[in-house]
Amino acid sequence: MADLEGTCDARFADVADLLADNLASGEDLGASIAVTVDGRPVVDLWGGWADQEQVTPWRRDTITNVWSCTKTVTSLAALVLVERGLLDLDAPVARYWPQFAAQGKEGVRVRHLLSHTSGVSGWERPVTVADVLDVPTSTARLAAQTPWWPPGTASGYHLLNYGHLVGELVRRIDGRTLGRFVAEEITGPLGADFHIGLPDHEFDRVADVLPPPPRPVGLAGADPDGVAMKTFTGPMGGADESWHPEWRRAEIGAANGHGNARSLARIHSVIACGGTLDGVRLLSSRTIDAIFQQQSDGPDLVLGAHLRFGIGFGLPSPAVPYLPQGRICFWTGWGGSVVVIDTERRAAIAYVMNRMGAGQLGSARTAQYIEAAFAALD
């Protein structure tokens, strides 16, 4: 059993044992797990290695690319604007971003962007990762596109462009970029070590993610011009893209947030605790209620899985059997990172790692940790 650092309430001993076992076996290389209840940490554990060579330990302040868990923080930024009366979920996106009305998108609503139902789940090809890192140019390209399905009729996971779309609303309403807004309005006030757009002086704290096992050929035989194929290949990049300085510096609100489990749990404790944490008020109960308004329920056009989306977050569905029913919202990151918010238990759970695992909505390790955490909460 590997040594862990941090703190853990006795009732969460099974969570600690799982992490220690997975680190000892090599299933996890380096990782952190955090659980908060009523905003207070009851689990804050980390251990293992920050590098594949096993030279640098995973430390308290180690951070890594959390992939699509970034989307939850991006969503929270939009919800802060909703709370302040500056963003209307039922308004056309074009009210704030006139160019977005092009090519039949005048009816796309703000709630469609936040629930992956806008019809714009990726870029028209050809497009490269370098193109996506040029956020102003690649965002303008999205505004000029034709939707790939009738907006609002189904979800199609906005894999890499979610932050471009939502972040542009933030920028046009507030004037600040998404990363700066998050830093000044969310993570700064909460004291959370999370970054969308990482400064160079923080690079030495980053644990590079290790690519997951090769994906099954899930797109074999798929329509080359279908929604899934266009989304996954526009662009198609590997996990090692996140090792590059250009990736770290960019503000990719769908995929390049850097943080750890502690920071993700801290941020999302605001939702778990009714919108206020340690005197920082970001949301009201009414805005939190909007998260749980179901916007779609069925096979996702990109991922293929049966998903339910609310506003900005996934809701429990057949695709995530490790989540109990209840007033729960969540999302995962490629390879296994996850953040789960339970407003009934007033709990937030997060897991962040550098050895990416197989699986579409979390890895086998993700399921282990989340199930153990809920068993302790119950």
Q: Which residues are catalytic?
A: 68
> Cβ distance 310 to 292 under 8 Å?
yes
In the structure encoding, which two tokens stand for residue 323, read together?
């989540």
In the structure encoding, which two tokens stand for residue 312, read together?
């900005």
- The angle at the Cα of 297, spanning 337 to 218, to the nearest 5 degrees, equals 55
Give the whole-angstrom CA distance, residue 280 versus residue 74.
18
Strand partners, 8: 43
Q: For residue 90, how many other CB atoms are within 10 A of its CB?
A: 7
Q: Which amino acid is at 345?
A: R
Residues in Cβ contact with 365 at an 8 Å cutoff, skipping those fewer than 6 apart: 22, 27, 28, 336, 351, 353, 357
- What number of CA atoms fall less than 13 Å from residue 220's CA on the CB side? 4
> Cβ distance 308 to 296 under 8 Å?
yes
Peptide bond into 299 cis (omega under 30): no
- 282-299 residues labelled b (16+ CB within 10 A) or e (exposed): bbeeebbebbeeebbeee
Torsional class of 161: left (φ above 0), alpha (ψ -120 to 50), beta (otherwise): alpha
Closest CA to 356 of 263, 262, 239: 239
